[in-house]
Amino acid sequence: MRILQSLVLFLVAGLMEIGGGYLVWLWLRNDRSVWLGALGGLLLFLYGVLPTLQPAGFDFGRVYAAYGGVFVVMSVLWGWRVDGIKPDAATVAGAAICLIGVGVIMYWPRPA
């Protein structure tokens, strides 16, 4: 259950960070409404709160290192789904390696 909670938090954090960044991008790069930028800023703030909700025992360094791998994978998926840029084989392989790293960093058994 602890791993499932952790994975869900990573997923939601990724959506908030990438979604928030995307809204700021639209505002500043595509001349969209300042309200999109403000909403993006709020999502980015909430993204900063979510890692603190990771289960006890997962320290700051591990959580942020592992989140980096989650962010890589979610960015590739966002680009594919939202921007229509299909990842090539090298990108898929790199993303898979990142997920393996996440598993090792966060969930590898450690002595108590």
Q: How far apart are CA 112 and CA 109, in angstroms?
A: 9
Q: Provide φ and ψ at 31, rounded to 5°.
A: 55, 45
pLDDT (0 to 100) of residue 56: 85
pLDDT (0 to 100) of residue 35: 97
* Identity of the amino acid at 112: A
pLDDT (0 to 100) of residue 24: 97
User: Taking a C-beta distance cutoff of 8 angstroms, is the pair 50, 9 a contact?
Assistant: yes
- Going by C-beta distance under 8 Å and a sequence separation of 6 or more, which residues neighbour residue 20? 39, 40, 41, 42, 43, 44, 46, 47
Model pTM? 0.83
- The pLDDT profile of the chain, 112 residues, written as one tens digit per residue, is 888 999 999 999 999 999 999 999 999 999 999 999 999 999 999 999 999 999 888 889 999 999 999 999 999 999 999 989 999 999 999 999 999 999 999 999 988 7
